[in-house]
Amino acid sequence: MKVTHSPLPGCIILEPTVFEDSRGYFYESFNEARFNELTSQQVHFVQDNQSFSSYCVLRGLHFQQGKHAQAKLVRVLRGKVLDVAVDIRPESPTFGNHFSIELSAENRLQLFIPRGFAHGFVVLSEEAEFFYKCDNYYNKASEGSILFSDKDLNIDWRIKPEQALVSDKDIESDSFAAFKQTVTNTAAIIGKELLC
């Protein structure tokens, strides 16, 4: 397996070693010991999720907060998507930056997204099946989202904004500026508590 580091610390691209012959192909899509060794991570995945979507369906930008934060290992089983990770770690030098990569059944690439990132994807093919592993269980009360079309983030989704098929919940997501303000206020409150 080949490992490539993205410009965002901790966000890693994985390319499997594929064995092909006249019968088809075989590859190991995940091996925990090998993954942890190659990526210098200590991740134990506990939940697998899979979704089916049509062209221009956009899901994101989602994240889980606090003790329910999730790291994800994402890939595409059928079709093609543009996958996007946004660094929402306030202490990170790349806070507010994003990284995007095309994931497809053909290129077989996977993207590891550590805790402290918002994540989303848009379908670029007629249909797509999207699969991801999580290292923490989903908790509805801890979910958050940032508006996919936020002007501060300025993400090129490779489709026109008006083409995006987005859930009502995602349309009502916070702006990145509102998210930053919440993070700043929370940090200030925690700081005051520590000083008391």
Residues marked active site are found at 62, 132
Quote the CA–CA distance of 36 and 26 in Å, as a whole number: 21
**Residue linked to tokens 């410009």:** 7
Answer whether 69's CB lies under 8 Å from 116's CB.
Answer: yes
- Cβ contacts of 54 within 8 Å, gap of 6 or more: 123, 126, 127, 128, 165
**Is there a contact between 6 and 39 (Cβ–Cβ < 8 Å)?**
no
Among 84, 118, 110, residue whose Cα is nearest residue 99? 84
- Give yes or no for a contact between 158 and 77, defined as CB atoms under 8 angstroms apart: no
CA 153 to chain centre: 15
